[in-house]
Amino acid sequence: THWGRLPDIGDPQAFGQWLHEVKRFGKQFWEKLGERRAPKIVFEHVGQNTIPTSIYLCDNAGMVVLCGGTTGYHGDVDLRFLWMRQKRLQGSHGFNLRQCHELTQLVAKGDVDPCLNYTGDFADIGKVHQMMHD
């Protein structure tokens, strides 16, 4: 499988198996997308279990935006995929504690209405991202 920690580069059989699986995942991604086009930006929240695959799948000169680590904080990175393909790894955090508290207070006072205008399932994720973009 390609999920989880990267195998040791000194184990060519394990690394080859990982690379085979991540390429298979990429092929499935492109089939669902309907064209062979890698994402220019990948939002990475899962962390440890998916960061190697996210970096691999991201387009050349693209960026992986790291905004969480729900499966762990030890993110293995094969640096060759960053420097040889000029990819970037960028950390991002939506709010600090003070900002989060202030937003909560605005919602509580009714100054911000966090209305929900659409609910979908995982199969609708492409549609939802397009709605946010539009």
Q: What average pLDDT score do residues 100-110 get?
A: 89
How far, in Å, CA of 21 to CA of 15, rounded?
10
Residues ≥6 apart with Cβ < 8 Å to 2: 18, 21, 22, 24, 25, 52, 53
Mean per-residue pLDDT over the chain, rounded: 90
Do 88 and 22 fall within a single domain? yes
Q: What average pLDDT score do residues 30-37 get?
A: 90
Do 118 and 81 fall within a single domain? no
Do 90 and 101 fall within a single domain? no
Q: Is the pLDDT of residue 2 over 90?
A: no
Do 12 and 78 fall within a single domain? yes
Burial, 53: exposed, middle or buried (Cβ in 10 Å; 0-12, 13-18, 19+)?
Answer: buried
Q: Is the pLDDT of residue 27 over 90?
A: yes
Do 22 and 67 fall within a single domain? yes
Do 62 and 83 fall within a single domain? yes
What pLDDT was estimated at residue 23? 94
Residues ≥6 apart with Cβ < 8 Å to 117: none
CA 110 to mean position of chain CA atoms: 33
What pLDDT was estimated at residue 133? 81
- Torsion of Cα atoms, 62 then 127 then 47 then 56, to 10°: -40
Question: Is the model's pTM score more than 0.75?
Answer: no
Q: How confident is the model at residue 115 (pLDDT cuts 50, 70, 90)?
A: confident
Do 73 and 44 fall within a single domain? yes
Q: How confident is the model at residue 122 (pLDDT cuts 50, 70, 90)?
A: confident
Do 76 and 119 fall within a single domain? no
How far, in Å, CA of 66 to CA of 19, rounded?
22
Domain housing 115:
95-134
